[in-house]
Amino acid sequence: MINEKRLKTILILLAAIIICGWLALLYIQSRNTSQQLTEEKLHNQLYLDMLKRAIINNIFASETIENTLMSRLELAAEILQNQPWITTRQLQQLCREHDFKELSFIDPAGSVINSNLYQDIYPHDLSLLELQVGETSVVAVPADSGEVFGSRIMIRKKPAYYFVGALSDSVILEHTRDISLSGMIDFVEGSLLENSDRMPVTEQVLYVVIQDTLGIIAATSNITSLRRLRDDEFLKEIFHSRQTASRFTIFEERKILETVTPFRLEGYDFGVIRLGVSLQRFEHAQTRKKVVLLLFSFIFLFSLFLEYLFYRNYKKLLRSREELNSSRRMVDIARLGGEVAHEIKNPLNSIYMILQRMKLEFEVKEKSEEFDRLLKVSYAEMERLNKIVEQLLSLSHQLYIQRQPVDVNRIISAVVDQFNSNTTGVHIKFAAQQKMIFPLDEKLLKQVLINLIKNAQEAFDPAKDGKEIVITSGRQKHNLVISIKDNGCGIPTDDLSRIWDIYFTTKKSGSGIGLAVCKKIIEGHGGHISVLSSDKKGTEFRIELPAKQE
């Protein structure tokens, strides 16, 4: 059979391997989850870059939109060139209908003939352009200090006046947005609705929003309102740092991943593009991770539990083998001891009778005191030898236990009082808390207690001060537990496994039978007796007896 220490080392190493395997699995699963989240963010960033490039490409087609608007302005000039006296209200109506910023008629001196914006004097000196009659010039005018957008002004010189028409850059930008941004959003929404295999990236997309400092420029139809850019610290940070980043947020009462990238066009900070993506794939991965962890955790714990059961049963097997070997050894020794005891008993009785006759029938005239002393010594040694023979006979005979309900604390108190009445220098402590009724053989229990207390007394160093034996009793899981603990010299570690063997003793005058008898009595009651001892630090004998007879 494998050595116990070697087996324990193997089981500890196996348990360490199992635990390390579980920790490695936990680390791998956590890393996979983190890696998948990183991949989700990267996919979102790539998709946003594609979307942004597409939008920019569309916006660069704004020249066509600008030319169309300017052609509309030239057409208005052709229509109005012969109507310089059109009313201001009519000019204002034309500007509203066709998104013109200005329609004006200015005389060569700079006075306003008619205009939707100005009265009296025109704010710009048109003569500086040095236009000939019939010539047209288009001028880009930057924004004033109080305005955001500049203008594109068309000036045509007539014989009696200047015709001035202007388009605001904001109008050009507005039409560009309407065409390019809305078209892109419609394309994204179509992909979301179709959920086709051609665009698997958009399968998890919930919304796309293009937003500037004033509000939403364009968005998918499921977006009705959002916090302004200036009210959201995360969006402000993206706008100012010009770095793409992601965050977890709530959309339609569920947690999503939102990726935001700045939108910059020709040196102008246009705003931000926001992409909201479902966490369904990530959540599925999290669920799979939890299932895998629970499954393998159960397997690992079950493996550790099987390992524990194996070791416990192995210990039981070892103890059973030891007890079986000890029982066989005790049976053989007891049988041999019984035969020897029977052979000794008769000669011993004969010697005792001879000594009696010598004491009664013979008169010693010389050294009578020495004769009497030797007779007393002989009687004492014969008495001791007789006790050993009786113990051998009790070991060789079958143990008959007469159980009856008895107060255990009363029995212990009686034995303690018996020992405390002798002046041995050893103080025995026992405090009975309450009655403890158990079905036991009172005579045999007393024999066990007397043997154990006597052994404890004899274990003390005569020169030691404060010699003490402490006895306690109590219940543990419906069993009776009695502890006899001393502060004597203790039992050497090498001798602990041999103290229950017959004839093993460390005392000069001991027989080595007492503890074997105690063990037989306790096990005959269906109980167990054990010992805890440290060399030079004392010994504790612990008796456990069941409340019910098995």
Distances (CA, A) of 62 to 66, 180, 181, 464: 6, 9, 12, 109
- Residue 199: is its pLDDT beyond 50? no
The predicted-structure confidence for 213-259, as pLDDT tens digits, reads as follows 778 877 777 777 778 887 888 888 888 888 888 888 888 888 888 88
User: Does the residue 297 lie in any domain?
Assistant: no
Residues 6+ apart with CB under 8 A from 454: 514
User: Does the residue 499 lie in any domain?
Assistant: yes
How many CB atoms are closer than 10 A to CB 198? 7
Class of residue 253 by CB neighbours under 10 A (exposed 0-12, middle 13-18, buried 19+): exposed
Alpha helices in 60-126 (DSSP H): 62-80, 88-98
The predicted-structure confidence for 151-192, as pLDDT tens digits, reads as follows 888 898 888 888 899 988 888 777 665 555 555 555 555 554
Q: With contact defined as beta carbons under 8 Å apart, do 51 and 273 qualify?
A: yes
Mean pLDDT of 347-371: 77
Distances (CA, A) of 465 to 318, 425, 487, 544: 40, 9, 10, 31
Among 106, 140, 173, give the residue marking a domain's end.
173
Residue 195 has a pLDDT of 45
User: Does the residue 364 lie in any domain?
Assistant: no
- Residue 272: is its pLDDT beyond 60? yes
Nearest of 278, 138, 129 to residue 195 by alpha carbon: 278
Cα distance between residue 139 and residue 152, in whole Å: 6
Q: Map residue 223 onto helix, strand or coil.
A: coil
Nearest of 486, 520, 522, 525 to residue 501 by alpha carbon: 520
Cα distance between residue 432 and residue 390, in whole Å: 33
Residue with tokens 């930057």: 142
User: Does the residue 462 lie in any domain?
Assistant: yes
Tell me which residue range forms the domain holding 524. 401-550
- Residue 96: is its pLDDT beyond 80? yes
Among 173, 189, 208, give the residue marking a domain's end.
173
Distances (CA, A) of 314 to 11, 179, 300, 321, 532: 12, 83, 21, 10, 22
Distances (CA, A) of 174 to 179, 354, 435: 9, 140, 100
User: Does the residue 341 lie in any domain?
Assistant: no
Here the tokens at position 221 are: 């139809």
DSSP 435: -
- Could you give the number of structural domains in the chain? 2
Max Cα distance, the chain (Å): 183
Cα distance between residue 132 and residue 125, in whole Å: 15
Percent of the chain with pLDDT over 70: 81
Backbone angles phi, psi at 474, to 5 degrees: -175, 180
- Residue 48: is its pLDDT beyond 70? yes
DSSP 508: S
Average pLDDT, the chain: 78
Q: What is the CATH number of the domain that holds 443?
A: 3.30.565.10
Residue 431 has a pLDDT of 76
Mean pLDDT of 420-434: 76
Which DSSP string corresponds to 139-198?
Answer: EEEPPPTT-SS-EEEEEEE-SS-EEEEEEEHHHHHHHHIIIIIHHHHHHHHHHHHH--TT
The pLDDT confidence band at residue 197, using thresholds 50, 70 and 90, is very low
Cα distance between residue 7 and residue 419, in whole Å: 46
The pLDDT confidence band at residue 22, using thresholds 50, 70 and 90, is confident
Cα distance between residue 415 and residue 532, in whole Å: 22
- Residue 313: is its pLDDT beyond 50? yes
Cα distance between residue 129 and residue 132, in whole Å: 9
Mean pLDDT of 71-91: 79
User: Does the residue 10 lie in any domain?
Assistant: no
Q: What is the CATH number of the domain that holds 169?
A: 3.30.450.20
Distances (CA, A) of 262 to 40, 236, 239, 343, 369: 19, 10, 6, 111, 123
pTM to 2 decimal places: 0.40
Cα distance between residue 213 and residue 215, in whole Å: 6
User: Does the residue 527 lie in any domain?
Assistant: yes
Among 121, 147, 173, give the residue marking a domain's end.
173
User: Does the residue 299 lie in any domain?
Assistant: no
Q: With contact defined as beta carbons under 8 Å apart, do 100 and 91 qualify?
A: no
254, containing H or E segment:
strand 254-265
Q: Map residue 328 onto helix, strand or coil.
A: helix
